[in-house]
Amino acid sequence: MEKLKGGESMVCNHKINTKSQIDNAEVVQAGHGHKSVRMLCDGKEIGFATTTYSHHQTDEIKEYAAERITLLLMLAKGMTNEQIMLQVAKKR
């Protein structure tokens, strides 16, 4: 079982109930037309985000947006929201 910062165990059992599970999530772009972002947990894909219902976007742009979300989550893996906000503030 993977240990997270602070010694917390990454227990999934298909129920996401800690911030550290989000902070350390392994994510993939998936779903019909690759318009969804899913977390991998206990060998299963758990829904995380989708662009499927962004009706003002073309299918191509929905897929691109889902890819962007996936890549940004990969880039931020291991960081808390507060740490991400500090990085964003540095870019402004």
* Digit-coded pLDDT (tens) for 48-76: 999 999 999 999 999 999 999 999 999 99
In percent, how much of the chain has pLDDT > 90?
A: 78
pLDDT at 43: 87
Burial of 10 (0-12, 13-18, 19+ CB in 10 A): middle
The pTM of the full predicted model, rounded to 2 decimals, is 0.81
Q: How many domains does the chain have?
A: 1
pLDDT at 1: 41
Domain hosting residue 44, numbered range: 5-91
As a whole number, mean pLDDT of residues 24-42 equals 96
